[in-house]
Amino acid sequence: MRVLMIGAGGVGDAAAKIAVERDFFEQWVVADHDLGRAEATVASASGRKGGESRLVAAQVDASDGEAVAALAREHRATHVFNAVDPRFVMPIFAGARAAGADYLDMAMSLSRPHPERPYEEVGVKLGDEQLAQAGEWEADGRLALVGIGVEPGLSDVFARHAADELFSEIDELGTRDGANLVVHDEDGNEVFAPGFSMWTIIEECLNPPVVWERERATQPDGSVDVEAGFFTLPPFAEPEVFDFPEGIGPVECVHVEHEEVLLMPRWVEAQRVTFKYGLGEEMIAMLRQLRALGLDSTEPVRVKGVEVSPRDVVAACLPDPATIGPRMTGKTCAGLYVTGTGTDGQPRAVYLYHVVDNETSMREYDAQAVVWQTAINPVVALELLAKGEWSGTGVLGPEAFPARPFLDLLAAEKPEGYGSPWGIEERDPSPPSSLP
């Protein structure tokens, strides 16, 4: 396996540091628009292992699909791993296919709200542009594994595991994400600094969140039209308090647009699929203000003769998520709350989860918890693909593959596995408490 990774930001840097400990690949190219940043990632990752020479740096414009294809051909890449934000999904996706390489990403092509009824009906959904090309990828004999970060990604693997081993019928697949992470300034004062891209947070949280329901998808003849099951709600809808494990505790969660809802119903049978994120009051209030002021817009405005995107300015004013690790404390939790009927025929509710402590990820990888938790999952997936334990063609989500090999490899102690255990908690089958 020869991997071309596009992006040497926080997640790309962490992925290289995780991958260098493994022996499943022949070469790992770290490409970024900033060659110096790519070279820094190669140096820091290679330095973790004596005599390491498989990592090389390169420069690339991720917005140029032809440039991506040319770089993939130059390095004979078998897999193009997209580690940049979703604005660049489609050119990298196209570049990988043009080069005859398989493709992986952690976020899918962007959505566009319904022009007349944005908070009731879907418009262009997350991933629609990629899924529309599934036939072409399958005809080429190539695989595009989409949404294989942590969320989407590990949560989708959990969905497959729940369907295969834990439940006979699933009522709801509910991704629930929360944390107790805190960032301090040099004087020890708590400051606002998101754990991942503010550009992406604005995109996810202010777009209409999508929900899927089987009842809507079921046709008069009893068949299921997956596309008919999707609908939207207003941002921050249906708040609930969800109790997260390992000391994180109760966090207010709200609906957010996310890829799991667009992927899970295609491969896992359930009555309802949702995604809720523990944003907290401060973040919700800030996002509402950005929307009110028009600062969430990606359309350029002219400021003193210079064209700038308001959202780009907001993101640029905040600390780079890759740099805040040393000033961050706490844990982040990603997981899937599943309700339904267990294999014994009794009502069951479980929370399948993965927790990362920032102190641990910083000490062991010099990577803050959110980016490290995102980065480990595509590396595990690449290893499974290299070993042939995962295989397929077309445009597929993580839930299209067997879950057990992934979960076992993730949790197994090093050097056999990645030494990052996941957990399962039995919960009261009654629904979590809702907020007015």
* CATH code of residue 76: 3.40.50.720
Mean pLDDT of 323-343: 91
Please report whether residue 390 resides in a domain.
no
Between these two residues, 105 and 294, which has the higher pLDDT value?
Answer: 105
For residues 60 and 87, the answer to whether their CB atoms sit within 8 Å is no
What's the pLDDT score for residue 433?
57
232 within a domain of the structure (yes/no):
yes
Task: Give the C-alpha distances (Å, rounded to integers) separating 193 from 3, 183, 282, 315.
Answer: 32, 6, 11, 10
Structure tokens at 127: 């991933």
Q: Side chain identity at 222, as an amino acid letter?
A: G
Whether 354 and 422 have beta carbons less than 8 Å apart is answered as: yes
- Where residue 284 falls among pLDDT bands split at 50, 70, 90? confident
Average pLDDT (354-374) is 95
* pLDDT of the residue at 68: 98
CB contact at 8 A, 104 and 80: yes
Phi, then psi, of 233 in degrees rounded to 5:
-130, 170
Q: Is residue 79 pLDDT above 90, yes or no?
A: yes
Q: Determine contact, residues 76/2, Cβ cutoff 8 Å.
A: yes
At residue 298 the predicted structure's pLDDT band, cuts being 50, 70 and 90, is: confident
Q: Which pLDDT does position 191 carry in this prediction?
A: 72
Q: Is the pLDDT of residue 192 over 80?
A: no
Separation between Cα atoms, residue 4 and residue 18, nearest integer Å: 15
In tens, the pLDDT along 202-242 reads: 887 888 999 999 999 999 999 999 999 999 999 889 999 99
- The pLDDT of residue 152 is 96
SS3 289: helix
Tell me, yes or no, whether 383 lies in a domain. Answer: no
Q: ∠46-49-54 over CA atoms, to 5°? A: 50
Let me know if residue 382 belongs to a domain: no
* Same-domain status, 227 and 354: yes
Are the C-beta atoms of 342 and 171 separated by less than 8 Å? Answer: no
Does pLDDT of 431 surpass 70?
Answer: no
Give the residues across from 5 on adjacent strands.
30, 81
pLDDT of residue 410: 98
| Pair 91, 212 in one domain | no
> How many domains is the chain partitioned into structurally?
2
Give the ranges where 6-88 is alpha helix by DSSP (H). Answer: 10-19, 35-46, 65-74
Q: Tell me what the pLDDT averaged over the chain comes to.
A: 93
Is residue 145 situated within a structural domain? no
- Residues 151/262, Cβ–Cβ less than 8 Å: no
Residue 183 placed within a domain: yes
H or E element that contains 138? helix 134-139
Lowest mean pLDDT, pick from 162-166, 238-242, 375-379: 238-242
- Is the confidence at residue 176, as pLDDT, over 60? yes
Domain hosting 191: range is: 154-372+419-427
Pair of tokens at residue 192 = 């606002």
Of the candidates 197, 266, 255, the residue with the CA atom closest to the CA atom of residue 7: 197
Domain identity same for 201 and 309: yes
Q: Is residue 130 part of a domain?
A: no
Average pLDDT score over residue span 296-324: 85
Place of tokens 């905040």: 318
One domain for residues 346 and 245: yes
Give the per-residue pLDDT at 436: 55
Does residue 363 share a domain with residue 254? yes
Kindly report, residue by residue over 248-258, the tens digit of the pLDDT.
Answer: 999 989 999 99
